[in-house]
């Protein structure tokens, strides 16, 4: 079974470059520590916030096959790995003050409705 966790958060447009640098470092760390993080793929997107010309909405999607293992890996990383805790703190610092991220939404794929065009 394929599931995803999706989260959205806001950053100031002026912090786009800073955020890109920060998230690159965070994901490079996660990529180099697959023993800590339980997911098969993570992807990120951004768009302009329709209600504020000064904000961007960023979103990530983590894909995995077992929700409990995924969630436990994130919690354990926060509690037992100083670099992960520091990365989370730096992420929270770049959010637009007074905004709250859309918390982790869990989605389960209907694999029988998947369409993939290989080679495109």
Tell me the C-alpha distance between 46 and 30, whole Å. 20
- Residue 95 exposed, middle or buried by CB count within 10 Å (0-12, 13-18, 19+): middle
Distance of alpha carbon 26 from alpha carbon 91, whole angstroms: 9
| pTM confidence score | 0.88
* Domain residue limits, the chain: 3-113
Q: Which CATH class is domain 3-113?
A: alpha beta
pLDDT digits (tens, 9 = 90+) for 7-31: 999 999 999 999 999 999 999 999 9
List pLDDT tens digits, range 41-58.
999 999 999 999 999 999
Residues 6+ apart with CB under 8 A from 85: 77, 78, 79
């Amino acid at each position: 079974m394929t599931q995803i966790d999706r989260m959205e958060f806001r950053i100031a447009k002026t912090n786009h470059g800073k955020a890109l640098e920060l998230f690159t470092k965070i994901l490079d760390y996660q990529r180099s520590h697959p023993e800590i993080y339980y997911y098969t793929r993570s992807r990120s997107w951004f768009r302009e916030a329709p209600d504020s010309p000064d904000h961007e909405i960023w979103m990530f999607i983590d894909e995995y096959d077992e929700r409990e293992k995924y969630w436990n890996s994130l919690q354990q990383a926060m509690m037992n790995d100083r670099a992960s805790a520091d990365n989370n703190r730096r992420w929270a610092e770049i959010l637009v003050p007074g905004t709250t991220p859309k918390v982790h939404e869990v989605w389960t794929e209907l694999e029988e409705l998947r369409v993939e065009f290989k080679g495109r």
